[in-house]
Amino acid sequence: MSAPDGRGGFRRPRVSSFVLLKQAASQFCPPYEVEKGQPADLRIILRDPSDRRSNISVSHRYERRLFFRANYLHIGSTIPGSGPPAAGQIAFRFRGPISRQSSSLRWGSPVADGERWLADLEGPLLQAVGSIEAIESLTIRWSPERESWRLELKTLSGSMVSGITAFLPVGVPFDRKEALGVIAMVDALASTRV
């Protein structure tokens, strides 16, 4: 059933994705625990009670395309560590379905001493990425000024989607295996700390 929109037409009912976001966040627990959740912002901050790991932020961000609408699951973390002397961004290349794909890492643009850092990070990061389904985008930036890595992941898992064939939004599950993959990426980047 649709609700009147005040103009004589009908609109889809509003559905909050915060419950789905809480379910996705719960997959990180343990070792993380929910520090704070902001339903209005569709954002939850996760903290490691032992303070061994960096905080992780999970949020939903709305995107609309021609025949598709989604509140994508965005996962972010800033991880103190060491890296090359210049700032850079690691680009992931995905080819084919995640189960049979060939993935690789490379710097978005040449970075001095960057190949040594890639050699150290590639194995653990690609193994972690292999456990995460339906990745839309993955960005890892290094900032020498802040001495930190910034991990940003956007995935269809944990998202709420709808389109022309689905009247109400549908929640896409985010599994524990995927949360452990994100934690493994945070750990791999933290392992660079000297």
Tokens in use for 181? 């993959």
Residue 77: pLDDT band (50, 70, 90) is very high
Quick one: pLDDT at residue 123? 85
Q: How far apart are CA 68 and CA 27, in angstroms?
A: 26
Average pLDDT value for the chain? 80
Q: Which helix (H) or strand (E) is 18 found in, with range? A: helix 18-26
Choose from 4-18, 50-64, 173-187 the range with maximum mean pLDDT.
Answer: 173-187
Query: What backbone phi and psi angles, to 5 degrees, belong to 36?
Result: -160, 150
| Mean pLDDT, rounded, for 6-13 | 51
Question: What residues does each domain of the chain span?
Answer: 15-190
